[in-house]
Amino acid sequence: MSSTLKKKKIVLYVALGLLTIGLGVFILFFTGESHKEKIKEELIFENLSNKKEVGRMSTLEDRNGNIYYKINYPVVGKSKIDDFIKNEVDVLKDNAFVENRCDCDELNTYYFIDYELYMGMNRTLSLVLKEVVETSWLRESVNVYTYIFNIDNGEYLSNEDIFEDGYKEILTKYIFSNDDEKFKVVIKEDKVYLIVNGMMQEVEGINDYLRLDGTIDKDYKVEDLEEEYNLINKEYIVLNDVVLYKEAKLASDVIGSVKKDEIVKVYRQSDKGWSLLLTQDGVAYIESKNIEEKKEEIPEENTNSGDSNEVKLYTVTDLNMRSEASSSSELLDVIKSGEEVIMISKSGGWAQVQYKDKIGYVSASYLTEVKIVKREVKLNVPPQGHIDPSKPMVALTFDDGPNTKATPRILDTLEKYNVRATFFDLGSLMLRYPDIVKREAKLGEVGTHTYSHKNLNLLSAEELAEEIRLSKEASMQVLGYEPKLLRPPYGNANANVRASITDMAIINWNVDSLDWKYRNKDLTLNEIDKFGNLDGKIILMHSIHNETADAIEILVPDLLDRGYQVVSVSELAYYKGYTLETGTIYYGFK
């Protein structure tokens, strides 16, 4: 069962290492069990999603030893898809129980799954499962799994079923590896999206590589459907008590009914009098004459915001400006990243904006209230050492420390081989172990991993400012200077966070060693091996595990043998010809 699962799931470990120094979490351990679970649940589910376009939600909830779990998963009404999904969540849950089993009864592990479900073009159904595990040894991980189904026959579609050859070249613009496991594809309405670092991004140009041409079902013809059915995706009011059909013909099976004045969601509509509905039990057809489009209600924000609704916003990426709220409408302009626009109104994910003398529509999710300023970051310690820029180099980075056991061992190894690394320390721990931090700074460089390991995307502006202020204060106190490199917890730094960090470069990674998950030196080394050529790459590890210290004792001499120079992040950027700026997330330096 586990091996079929491996083939089908696409996994990305987005988030790592939660250190529960924060008082909030501390309190949780001293309150009642079920109250504690409730709070955890709220914290976690808040961060998950409520985009559930199809079917109904089913929930599994129980306690198994020290593991408390709650799993939301969809039932779409097609047994083949439903069986597949149920099997997946069962396997995920079982694996989690094996991986997170521990003897520490007094501490809990929390295991949550929530989902998003979208109807996509060419009658596909995209499922995104988000799995959050917070283990009793105080770490949190978020995994994202994506699945695409053919809704007609219920078949699971692999990337090869979905795309023509050549799609990977397009996708490598968005992620850093040509490796199938890294491609997390979602088809939503009439667009293809990728999930990168837990965030869904539209991938321009990828639609040209769509196939979906009957490799699964020989009778399945996309062209016919495309000609006959138009995408609607709106709510309609039912005009009469009528039945729902399995297929778009009166002779087909009746699979349900709707009552007058009920609201239904029409996904597609044909010229020949049929509408495809998304219902609580899946999809069904209704005769179009029995429904009428529901009039848009005036959004509340328009009625109470006074004389003007116009808001000044900034683009966070290059954005296509369209003549209508549809990606197939005329392209009016491409607005460059960081430009100012005036938002006139917002509806269904589209913002009507004024840009220079034009009025048009852009995707609302790429607009932010705070302007992202790109400013050069002045480093504390100028890059030094004897680096040959013509030879390959790789940066080792260590998060979550320092601690008193593993971190000194890692430092011993760096010292022994005379190589450098970057430590992204927690401010709270820097204050506790200042001597170790000073040694880190001497043998490498020290950036910040925030003060108390909060997910920055979830903080208010004030909370974010406070977290950053405390981080800087800790570094100032221990090292005498403020950090210039930030590794955000879980790699999370949305547009608002990027806009608010005005004097540090944000450094993520493009090689995840998964050391925190494996807690085994061989598996960790093997994971790094999977990435092949490491030149210009940033490796993510954690300085708080003895197994990581074990792995480093082998990895460093091995890298040197293979001709790599082992450097700090600042050195890597410098010798690869980059000037570090604010407002950008760096994953590596080619």
Closer residue to Zn ion, CB minimum distance, 203 or 552: 552
Q: Which single residue brings its beta carbon nearest to Zn ion?
A: 17
Q: Which window, 11-19, 77-85, 254-262, 363-371, contacts Zn ion (CB under 5 A)?
A: 11-19
Measured in degrees and rounded to the nearest 5, phi and psi for residue 319 equal -125, 135
Q: Which residue has the tokens 């070249």?
A: 169
Q: Which two tokens stand for residue 319?
A: 């954005």
CA angle 427, 196, 164 (to 5 degrees): 165
2 three-class SS? helix
User: What is the number of alpha carbons within 13 Å of residue 170 lying toward its C-beta?
Assistant: 18
Q: Is residue 208 a contact partner of residue 163, using CB atoms and an 8 Å limit? A: no
Closer residue to Zn ion, CB minimum distance, 320 or 397: 397
User: 485-511 burial by CB neighbour count: b if 16+ within 10 A, else e?
Assistant: bbbbbbbbbebbbbbbbeebbbbbbbb
The least distance separating Zn ion from the CB of residue 139, rounded to whole angstroms, comes to 8
Q: Which window, 33-41, 113-121, 296-304, 396-404, contacts Zn ion (CB under 5 A)?
A: 396-404
The closest alpha carbon to 569, from 515, 528, 522, 511, belongs to 511
Q: Which residue has the tokens 């997170």?
A: 100
The least distance separating Zn ion from the CB of residue 580, rounded to whole angstroms, comes to 21
Q: Which window, 41-49, 178-186, 309-317, 399-407, contacts Zn ion (CB under 5 A)?
A: 399-407
Closer residue to Zn ion, CB minimum distance, 320 or 450: 450
Q: Is residue 414 a contact partner of residue 461, using CB atoms and an 8 Å limit? A: no
Site string for Zn ion, 316-355 (x = CB under 5 A): ----------------------------------------
Q: Which window, 135-143, 220-228, 395-403, 438-446, contacts Zn ion (CB under 5 A)?
A: 395-403
The least distance separating Zn ion from the CB of residue 136, rounded to whole angstroms, comes to 17
461 three-class SS? helix
The least distance separating Zn ion from the CB of residue 396, rounded to whole angstroms, comes to 15
The least distance separating Zn ion from the CB of residue 399, rounded to whole angstroms, comes to 4
| 444 alpha-carbon distance from chain centroid | 30
How far apart (Å, rounded) are the C-alpha atoms in residues 451 and 483?
12
Q: Is residue 187 a contact partner of residue 118, using CB atoms and an 8 Å limit? A: yes
Sites for Zn ion among residues 106-135 (CB under 5 A):
none
Torsion sign, CA atoms 75, 81, 86, 92: negative
The least distance separating Zn ion from the CB of residue 542, rounded to whole angstroms, comes to 7
Is the link from the previous residue into 402 a cis peptide, with omega within 30 of 0? yes
Please say if 190 is a catalytic residue. Answer: no
Measured in degrees and rounded to the nearest 5, phi and psi for residue 208 equal -65, -20
Sites for Zn ion among residues 467-526 (CB under 5 A):
489
- DSSP codes joined into one string, 240-305: S-EEEESSSSTTSPEEEEE-TT-EEEEEEEETTSEEEEEETTEEEEEEGGGEEEPPPPPPHHHHHS
Instruction: Say how many Å lie between the first and final Cα of the chain, rounded.
Output: 39
Closer residue to Zn ion, CB minimum distance, 17 or 588: 17
Indicate the length of the chain as a whole number: 590
Out of 82, 449, 512, 542, the active site residue is 542
The least distance separating Zn ion from the CB of residue 120, rounded to whole angstroms, comes to 34
Please say if 399 is a catalytic residue. Answer: yes
| 467 alpha-carbon distance from chain centroid | 22
Sites for Zn ion among residues 400-459 (CB under 5 A):
400
How far apart (Å, rounded) are the C-alpha atoms in residues 567 and 322?
45
Cβ neighbors of 43 (< 8 A, separation 6 or more) are none
**Total of residues contacting Zn ion (CB under 5 A):** 4
Closer residue to Zn ion, CB minimum distance, 70 or 487: 487
The least distance separating Zn ion from the CB of residue 143, rounded to whole angstroms, comes to 16
Out of 399, 400, 515, 550, the active site residue is 399
Closer residue to Zn ion, CB minimum distance, 407 or 565: 407
Closer residue to Zn ion, CB minimum distance, 283 or 426: 426
Closer residue to Zn ion, CB minimum distance, 399 or 571: 399
The least distance separating Zn ion from the CB of residue 68, rounded to whole angstroms, comes to 23
Q: Which window, 109-117, 136-144, 173-181, 391-399, contacts Zn ion (CB under 5 A)?
A: 391-399
Q: Which window, 28-36, 90-98, 398-406, 529-537, contacts Zn ion (CB under 5 A)?
A: 398-406
Closer residue to Zn ion, CB minimum distance, 483 or 489: 489
Contact status: 399 vs Zn ion (CB under 5 A): yes
Sites for Zn ion among residues 15-44 (CB under 5 A):
17
Cβ neighbors of 562 (< 8 A, separation 6 or more) are none
Q: Which residues are catalytic?
A: 399, 542
Binding residues for Zn ion (CB under 5 A): 17, 399-400, 489
